[in-house]
Amino acid sequence: MGQSKGPSIYNFKFWLLVLATILHSTSGLFEDQIGKFDWRQHYVGKLKFGGFDSSSLDRIIVATESNALAAISAKSGEILWRQLLEKSPRGDIKLLHIPGQANQGVQSGDGRSNRAFDVVTVTGVNPALVRGWNPNTGSLEWEWSLLPNSPEKAESAVWFAEQSSLYQVVPVWGSHIELTEYFVSTGQQSKPSTSRISAAWIKEDRCTLADKFFACAIDQQILVVDLLAENPQIISKQLETAASGSPKAVVGEAAVVQDGRMYSLTSDLKVALGAEGSVLVDEAILEGERVLLSGTVDRVRNEFRVTAKKLVDNSPFEAIEFVAEYPETLGSPELVAVRCKTTGGSGPRGSQLACRVLVSSEDGAITLLQQGKLKWTREEALADVETADFLDLTLSDAEGAIEEELNNKNGDVFGALQRRITSQISHVKNLVLHVLGLGPAPSKAQKAGLVRDDFGLHKMLVVVTSSGKVFGIDNISGKQHWTRYLPEMTGFANGQSMKLLVQRTSRFYPLSAQCLILGRHRTTKNGLLYQFNPITGQPVNGGTIQLPYQIRQASLLHETGPDFLRGILLLDDNNQAHVLPESLAKYANNFYMFSADRETATIQGSHVEFRNGKLNTVPTWTVNLSGAGRTQQIIAIEGKNPIEHVHSQGRVLADRSVLYKYINPNLIAVATHGPDNIHKYILNVHLLDVVSGSIVFSMSHKRIRPPLQMVHSENWLVYSYYNDKVRRTEVTSVELYEGKTQTNSTVWSSLDAPTMPLVERQSYVLPVAVATMQETLTEKGITNKHILFGLTSGAVVEMSWALLDPRRPVTSPEKAREEGIIPYMPELPMPHEIIINYNQTIANIKGIVTAPSGLESTCLVFVHGLDIFVTRVAPSKTFDLLKEDFDYFLISVVLILLTTTSYVVKVFASKKAIKQAWK
């Protein structure tokens, strides 16, 4: 019997293994659709530090302003690994030390050889975190922290590494410099006390750290002190003119750059540079010489010239000089790192030098130049998106011909017949030429595939970044069709981003679409406009327009001109109204605007009138929301999406009566936050009519802290916040109703003093932290509304409005059950199937943009942060679209049989009728 149990146990284990394999294969959700309707692109952000890894020829280590540490392939520019550090200010990278740079590595203080090749970073101030990273995998090897004695002084601390030591330099402006030495891998102090170096000449924003030297540009000289010398002495470098700004350190060499000249801190060498040049000393020894590289840009020829000089005698080093192509879409360059190697050759020229140059552009792009050629470019500006929008593509040539044919405004029947016959002849001609291979060349839009599809799912995604770079991206493939760089444009004050306004869509054939980017000039702070075609990226009417005034508020006009172009109404800092183009000023008559001051929590309304060919602005109302103690400040203002449609005007109750929605298009939600003597913090939310200035509804939340995210749509408002009392994230939903009778079913007017709405509100608990929120949009508003939550974990959650409904009853009465309302539960569920980006995590989510498609059921979604992600959602399922597994063969067979049967039955029925007639 003991032998008979063996085979059964083995069979049991075998079938158990088979069952586990089957279960594992079914663990994916919609696995066949992964990446079919969505795509994601990874970025690291604008470069802050960077260099080539000495242990690998194909690896570049970079640290960015987005608090990311990453390794990039030198061959392809792809991200090999990436580590996201803490948010600012704790995650601000102060130092990146790559082993092998400057001919030195970081040696371990405890004798472990494996730590000699770690990449070292220093982040934050209070505390300062020192970490060692494995350059091959990006994994964290070791870490230690440092709490400063004086956090105020440590804010300006700088760091540098020397052999096995890490030095912290804390300048006390106008007094002295404090120098502390630590073992790099353990954090133990090498010396029992901190060294104090007397330096009464140091000034803030005038100094920098170059290698082990602390240098300041004071008047017409550069004052330098060697921090590691036994008796530090002040070294002076005379300048030709008074210094402007602070000097810039040269990587890998004890030298600084000031006003276009490089000054060596260990010798009397001075090297003149171009005004646009950046410098870097090659970390390797080239034929026994240390070489200085500098670069200049020729914007006329779009070339980047790299020159080299020997540091010994300032003579040219032509072996590594080259001229490379530099596109006009890239900003001013800065040399970051250089690696050269000797390539062997048996020809008459023998061995040659081949260099790779890492360049960081002002717009955020990272470029690698190799042997005088642009090898690859990473558009890291997309890691900091400010605003975006989906635009309809143009019609194809065939559809455009149909539009031209149907363009019969005068009612000319014979003209329409002539156009129809001509069109048919042209179609037959094109068909014959296409078969023979002699057809006309397709347009540029058709070559690029930028034509409108049947369902309106293919669109152009226009993205505006904080660096002033604009992209036209295909929402289907993620391809960048065009790029424009606006170096003089920046966002507005108080953290307000640049605005993207659509003046005309591509629906008005043959007129092309037109968009406008609204910002301000970097230097003058006056308004700056850029008009362009969103499909091709080409500027319109010269593109850039500089305004002689600062912009306080801007809005699109409701009416369009004769060419279907919507004007822009601008309000300057003197409350004077302007319209661009000026020919559309008459459409601004009887227009209401509002402006808000975040610091004083004051909102002011204005009425714009057009009389006698001039625009006049009349202040109409002012509301102060700062509270009795004047401590409240505005932290968020949210209006309704101007393109949304409200399909249902009411809500059917269980008794078959209708509860009409309070749909006020002039309603905005204003959130104010401030300290309180009793409750620590108070959050106030006000619903304000911006035409009449009346406050429709207000409510307060005690002991609430930001971040606050809001979504305002139709007759409801949803916002999330952090409850400091119970330490959790909560969501509050508010719904407004007029009641059982509607005040005016045709036209809404804020000046008619409508009745105050009925308010339903409810709060829920979210088990996650929210980074941003947005609602879904569809073309007609028939589809149910869902709320998209962008979480700090990188997931995007699609939550049904039924879960956030404020009318969810605490109990479950029969009426609520008949209406289909879910009973109230304080915790909102978070099942994995509502995460629309499944395992495609999006780092540091900042915003979500939604847009309707041609299908009523489908909404297009763009999520941006450090990564960008595009997908589509169907809140009410794809009720207007056949499924992918639809059996077309079966339905065709059934239709053919039904059609054949109907004809056969028709014949028999006619015969039967004849027979009955003869009886």
Q: In whole numbers, what is the pLDDT of the chain averaged over residues?
A: 86
Instruction: Please tell me the least confidently modeled range out of 147-156, 277-286, 898-907.
Output: 277-286
Residue 307 has pLDDT above 70, yes or no: yes
Contact of 23 with 844, CB cutoff 8 Å? no
Is the model's pLDDT at 40 over the cut of 70? Answer: yes
Q: Inform me whether the pLDDT recorded for 25 exceeds 80.
A: no
What pLDDT is recorded for position 216?
92
503-542 as b/e: b if 16+ CB within 10 A: bbbbeeeeebbbbbbbbbbeeeeebbbbbbbbbbbeebee
Task: Give the model's pLDDT for residue 444.
Answer: 59
- On the question of pLDDT at 32 being above 80, the answer is no
pLDDT tier at 240, thresholds 50, 70, 90:
confident
Q: Which two tokens stand for residue 45?
A: 């952000």
Segment 582-607 mean pLDDT: 92
pLDDT above 70 covers what percent of the chain?
88
pLDDT of residue 39 exceeding 90: yes
The arithmetic mean of pLDDT across residues 158-175, rounded, is: 90
pLDDT 10s digits, 623-634: 999 988 899 999
pLDDT at residue 7 is higher than 70 = no
The 3-state secondary structure of 445-456 reads HHHCCCECCCCC
111 — pLDDT class (breaks 50, 70, 90): very low
Q: What is the mean pLDDT of residues 286-294?
A: 73
Lowest-confidence region among 335-349, 383-397, 563-577: 335-349
- The pLDDT score that the predictor gives to residue 116 is 60
The pLDDT confidence band at residue 104, using thresholds 50, 70 and 90, is: very low
pLDDT digits (tens, 9 = 90+) for 619-671: 999 999 998 889 999 999 999 999 899 988 888 888 888 999 999 999 999 99
The pLDDT of residue 27 is 43
pLDDT at 230: 85
The DSSP-derived string for 437-502 is: T-PPPPPHHHHTT-B--TTS--EEEEEEETTSEEEEEETTT--EEEEEE-TTEE--STTPPPEEEE
The predicted structure's pLDDT at residue 107? 38
- Whether pLDDT at 881 is above 90: no
What average pLDDT does the segment 757-776 reach? 94
**Choice between 829 and 271, residue whose per-residue pLDDT is larger:** 829
State how far the Cα of 872 lies from the Cα of 864, in Å rounded to an integer: 14
Least confident piece of the model among 83-97, 364-378, 738-752: 738-752
pLDDT of residue 241: 84
Measured CA to CA, the distance from residue 32 to residue 595 in angstroms comes to 50
CA–CA distances in Å: residue 129 to residues 125, 182, 210: 8, 13, 22
pLDDT higher than 60, residue 283: no
> What value does the mean pLDDT take over residues 490-506?
90
pTM, two decimals, is 0.88
pLDDT value at 427 more than 90 = no
Q: Are 469 and 485 in contact (CB under 8 A)?
A: yes
Cα 101 from Cα 89, distance rounded (Å)? 27
Q: Give the per-residue pLDDT at 440.
A: 60
State the pLDDT confidence band at 35, using cuts at 50, 70 and 90. Answer: confident
Band of pLDDT at residue 554, cut at 50, 70 and 90: very high
Angstrom distance (rounded) from CA 352 to CA 350: 7
Whether pLDDT at 88 is above 60: yes
Q: Quick check: 777 pLDDT over 50? A: yes
Measured N-to-C along each axis, helices 397-406 and 413-436 cross at an angle, to the nearest 10 degrees, of: 160
CA pair distance 498, 351, nearest whole angstrom: 52
In the prediction, which pLDDT does 485 show? Answer: 95
The model's pLDDT over 778-815, given as tens digits with 9 standing for 90+, comes to 999 999 999 999 999 999 999 999 999 999 988 777 77
The per-residue pLDDT for range 887-905, each reduced to its tens digit, is 888 999 999 999 999 999 9
Query: Which pLDDT score is estimated for 691?
Result: 92
Least reliable range by pLDDT among 344-353, 613-622, 669-678: 344-353
pLDDT band at 494 (very low <50, low <70, confident <90, very high): confident
Q: Which of 497-506, 842-851, 910-919 has the lowest mean pLDDT?
A: 910-919
- Are the C-beta atoms of residues 580 and 567 closer than 8 Å to each other? yes
| Choice among 700-709, 748-757, 840-849 with the minimum mean pLDDT | 748-757
pLDDT of residue 514: 94
Query: SS3 for 918?
Result: helix
Distance CA 221, CA 578 (A): 49
